[in-house]
């Protein structure tokens, strides 16, 4: 089939999903989306009903090379990328970056390590139901943490980095919920950032778990290199002396001089139970067949969000909402429930209910 070239074949955005790009091309040219979709797709070879994009057809109508298209559009690649490296749910990404891509909404499938648009200082953590845009102009340390995050990725690869960063965020959330004298100086930073992201008295409209995640992200990225390092994992599992060195390093990084005096904190649990285990894979993986179905926000999720907003107090167990959120489900489900519920949180009946 000879396909005519479109007069305004704008480029795809980085990590854009195929349907988003084709939808933008259709809107820009006043074409019917389904008609254009059928032009550039064919039935999948396995005999199913689904249609898949033919890279050469998309190249023909845009005048762009297959190589350049597959560079930006992960779904177009052959062989398919390792989808475990990406978040399972497509998201818009940074709206400032999207503004230079005409034709309407841009939807991207972002890799796990993309938490911040450093250029525009925006938080890109998997968005909460509220769809808030979270500027980080007053929190340069969060932007800086993204750069450190990328250095961990370069050193250890995506799987170890994914596990280490999520474990570290979870641990920060747990530390934030400990009594004031047990969670170190970083608590003050978490409260300060929370008060910027969720100004006092505005929680009903500004509260989101993604923002709590931003509040602890710098310290999570300070801890994550230890959780990803073979040397420190070994120290964590070693004899009493090795463990003392590990605890001293944690104390230094968390500015927590008394760290290591108790055995019942979340990091000790990580050292005892998790350090010897291989990294966890994500529970949910991107599925091209279903990603266009927009996830409707269930009434129960909305109610849970409102409940968390009403209960939110940065000075009192503020990490609870973070640790039970679905973003951390992969590491949350790891077997530390008995330890936490019986040792640390005897009264936290609802602590482990996931959202
Ligand atoms: Zn941006």
User: What is the overall mean pLDDT for the chain?
Assistant: 85
Q: Facing residues of 53 across strands?
A: 41
Q: For the chain, which residues make up each domain, given as ranges? A: 18-98, 116-344
Please tell me the distance between residue 71's alpha carbon and the centre of ligand 1 in angstroms.
19
Please tell me the distance between residue 235's alpha carbon and the centre of ligand 1 in angstroms.
39
Query: Could you write out the DSSP letters of every residue in 244-285?
Result: HHHHHHHHHHHT-TTTTS-S-SHHHHIIIIITTSPPPPPSS-
HSE-CB for 94 with a 13 A CA cutoff: 18
- pLDDT tens figures, 249-286: 998 998 888 787 776 788 888 888 888 888 888 878 88
If you ran DSSP here, which 8-state letter would residue 41 be given? E
CA 118, distance to chain mean position in Å, is 15
Please tell me the distance between residue 206's alpha carbon and the centre of ligand 1 in angstroms.
21
Please tell me the distance between residue 105's alpha carbon and the centre of ligand 1 in angstroms.
14
Global pTM?
0.87
Of all residues in the chain, the percent with pLDDT exceeding 90 is 54
What pLDDT does 40 receive?
A: 95
Three-state secondary structure call for residue 122? strand
102: Cβ–Cβ under 8 A, 6 or more apart, which residues? Answer: 10, 24, 28
Report the distance separating Cα 110 and Cα 200, nearest Å: 32
Residues around ion ligand 1, judged by CB within 5 A, are 94, 96-97, 117, 119-120
Report the distance separating Cα 278 and Cα 159, nearest Å: 10
Report the distance separating Cα 236 and Cα 244, nearest Å: 9
Report the distance separating Cα 180 and Cα 256, nearest Å: 12
Three-state secondary structure call for residue 84? helix
- State the burial class of residue 189 (Cβ atoms within 10 Å of its Cβ: 0-12, 13-18, 19+): middle
- pLDDT tens figures, 321-352: 887 777 777 666 664 444 443 333 333 333 33
Please tell me the distance between residue 128's alpha carbon and the centre of ligand 1 in angstroms.
18
Please tell me the distance between residue 162's alpha carbon and the centre of ligand 1 in angstroms.
22
Q: Which long-range contacts (CB under 8 A, 24 or more apart) does 33-42 make?
A: 36/61, 39/1, 39/3, 40/3
Report the distance separating Cα 139 and Cα 21, nearest Å: 33
CB of 295 within 8 A of CB of 89? yes
What pLDDT does 141 receive?
A: 98
Please tell me the distance between residue 102's alpha carbon and the centre of ligand 1 in angstroms.
15
Please tell me the distance between residue 236's alpha carbon and the centre of ligand 1 in angstroms.
38
Please tell me the distance between residue 118's alpha carbon and the centre of ligand 1 in angstroms.
7
Please tell me the distance between residue 98's alpha carbon and the centre of ligand 1 in angstroms.
7
Lowest-confidence segment of 95-104, 297-306, 312-321 by average pLDDT: 297-306
CB of 156 within 8 A of CB of 112? no
CB of 324 within 8 A of CB of 212? no
Peptide bond between residue 79 and the one before it cis (omega within 30 degrees of 0): yes
Please tell me the distance between residue 93's alpha carbon and the centre of ligand 1 in angstroms.
8
CB of 29 within 8 A of CB of 9? no
Report the distance separating Cα 239 and Cα 60, nearest Å: 64
């Amino acid at each position: 089939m000879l396909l005519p070239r479109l007069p305004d074949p704008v480029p795809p955005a980085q990590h854009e999903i195929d349907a988003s790009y084709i939808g933008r091309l259709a809107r820009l040219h006043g074409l019917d989306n389904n008609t254009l979709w059928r032009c550039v797709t064919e039935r999948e070879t396995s005999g199913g009903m689904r249609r898949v994009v033919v890279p050469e057809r998309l190249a023909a109508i845009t005048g762009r090379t297959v190589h350049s298209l597959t560079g930006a559009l992960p779904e177009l690649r052959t062989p398919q990328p390792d989808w475990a490296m990406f978040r399972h749910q497509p998201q818009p990404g940074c709206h400032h970056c999207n503004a230079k891509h005409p034709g309407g909404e841009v939807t991207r499938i972002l890799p796990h390590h993309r938490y911040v648009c450093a250029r525009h200082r925006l938080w890109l953590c998997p968005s909460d139901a509220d769809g808030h845009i979270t500027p980080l102009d007053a929190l340069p340390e969060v932007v800086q943490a993204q750069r450190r995050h990328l250095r961990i990725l370069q050193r250890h690869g995506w799987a170890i980095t994914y596990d280490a960063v999520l474990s570290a965020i979870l641990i920060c959330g747990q530390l934030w919920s400990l009594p004031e004298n047990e969670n170190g100086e970083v608590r003050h930073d978490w409260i300060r950032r929370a008060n910027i992201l969720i100004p006092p008295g505005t929680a009903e409209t500004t509260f989101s778990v993604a923002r709590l995640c931003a509040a602890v992200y710098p310290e999570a990225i300070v801890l994550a290199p230890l959780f990803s390092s073979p040397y420190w994992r070994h120290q964590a599992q070693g004899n009493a002396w090795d463990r003392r060195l590990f605890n001293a390093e944690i104390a230094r990084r968390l500015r927590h001089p008394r760290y290591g005096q108790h055995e019942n904190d979340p990091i000790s649990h990580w050292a005892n139970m998790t350090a010897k285990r291989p990294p966890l894979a994500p529970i949910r993986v991107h599925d091209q067949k279903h990603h266009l179905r927009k996830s409707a926000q269930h009434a129960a999720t909305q109610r849970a969000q409102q409940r968390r907003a009403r209960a939110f107090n940065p000075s009192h167990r503020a990490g609870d909402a973070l640790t039970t959120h679905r973003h951390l489900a992969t590491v949350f489900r790891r077997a530390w429930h008995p330890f936490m519920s019986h040792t640390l949180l005897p009264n936290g009946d609802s602590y482990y209910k996931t959202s």
